[in-house]
Structure 1
């Protein structure tokens, strides 16, 4: 996390309500050296890493033409390289302990969304990286699970950027049911116990996955406008 107060609060909450020992480390996942130090502290404190959850992410809402290059670079730095840095640093311990890598992705990892070209790019890159890594780790005992949770009540949308890199005055609307972080966390926990490879928690995400891959014109006419906050076109030939 980048907020020390939030870290301290979470560590205290875990101790008070779950009798759990936790270590809060201030770290920017876009900084590879900082991630290395954080992972080293974790291994030193707990003896190793059994589960890595790549959860850091930022988003935006702006057209490709209106999005400055710095916004693309920042989103890729956090969403893609952040997960890469954490996985690189934790991998030796994960292999030694037959652990698990959990990656928080999105329907943007397999279907386009309007006005989120940088975010979509980062999620497609995550799928490419971790689906490849899964095969490279075959036989190592390490499981890789990609999670597409759907719209969730977190600060991700509240902190969405616009084209110049500033925070949007109003967050983009969620299209569909918004899940609670608690429900998503519980589903991820049970998915991890089963060592799933892909966990898609939203019916909308499942439909987007199927339509975007097999019926792209139908996806474009019906689902893409809805997901992007536009009026759907009439479905026709596809």
Structure 2
């Protein structure tokens, strides 16, 4: 995908906060926003990766960047970190709820603690960050970008907790959009398909242990840079919903019109083993 790096000044000097911003789509989006002149705040759990990314953004893009170690599932930690961001930059223009984790296990073989952990990061993490950021976003008539998933439309077996967390995000942010009507705050839900990120490679098992084996992929996995570019362009156009990845329209169509066939295809793909 060709990148129109300097095509717009919409995000020039705007303050953009990205959760889970040190790898994958989050990092690619941080670099894309930096190319557009934004000032960046990054939340992540890896302090070393945070320090490296902040230095990279300063050195290569000449932008102001702040990296804060923050577990988005911890409401108090989010409130403290958000206060530091707003104090440092004077406010917030764009919140990107990107932090997320996944698992690979059948529903009946997944401990409740795994469901709780996935929901804590994927759903409650976005909720905590949004509630903490919303007063500043309302003042500055800003944007909220939420990373959902193709699984919202065509769920993948053995990711029940992950799929549920993404459905919950749509319910939450569709409701919030209605409540914020007329406030000037814009909300975009972005639904990438399979993307070549570390999220696919570091997953939880049903017992909560880490699994090195990647989750199955149908079709070609997109690059984080292409996904970030699509999200950036969608944010420029203030899209409400962005569904990405070329194979996904087929998956959505099959899941809706031929659900039994879709289920059979997914079971066959799982039986074949994970893609490399």
1:129 matched residue in structure 2: 172
Contact 1:146 1:197 in 2 (8 A): yes
Kindly state the Cα deviation for residue 206 of structure 1 after the two structures are TM-superposed: 2.3
1:70 matched residue in structure 2: 113
Instruction: Give the TM-score taking structure 2 as reference length.
Output: 0.79
1:26 matched residue in structure 2: 69
1:229 matched residue in structure 2: 270
Aligned pair partner of 2:230 in 176, 187, 212: 187
Q: After superposition, where does 1:1-238 map in structure 2 within 5 Å?
A: 1-222=44-265, 224-225=266-267, 229-230=270-271
The gaps in structure 1 that reach 5 residues or longer are: 232-238
Contact 2:202 2:210 in 1 (8 A): yes
Q: Alignment partner of 1:156: what SS?
A: helix
Contact 2:203 2:212 in 1 (8 A): no
In structure 2, the CA distance between the partners of 1:132 and 1:210, relative to structure 1 (3 Å rule), is farther
Contact 1:148 1:205 in 2 (8 A): no
Contact 1:175 1:229 in 2 (8 A): no
Aligned counterparts of 1:58 and 1:52: Cα–Cα separation in 2: 19
Contact 1:61 1:160 in 2 (8 A): yes
Kindly state the Cα deviation for residue 189 of structure 1 after the two structures are TM-superposed: 0.7
Structure 1 stretches of 4+ with a deviation exceeding 4 A read none
Instruction: Give the TM-score taking structure 1 as reference length.
Output: 0.91
Greater CA drift, 211-220 or 162-171 = 211-220
Kindly state the Cα deviation for residue 8 of structure 1 after the two structures are TM-superposed: 0.3
Choose between structure 1 and 2: higher strand proportion: 2
Kindly state the Cα deviation for residue 117 of structure 1 after the two structures are TM-superposed: 0.7
Deviations 1:46-100 (A, max 9, x none): 1111000000100011111111111011000000000000000001111111111
Contact 1:191 1:199 in 2 (8 A): yes
Q: How many residues align structurally?
A: 229
The gaps in structure 2 that reach 5 residues or longer are: 1-43
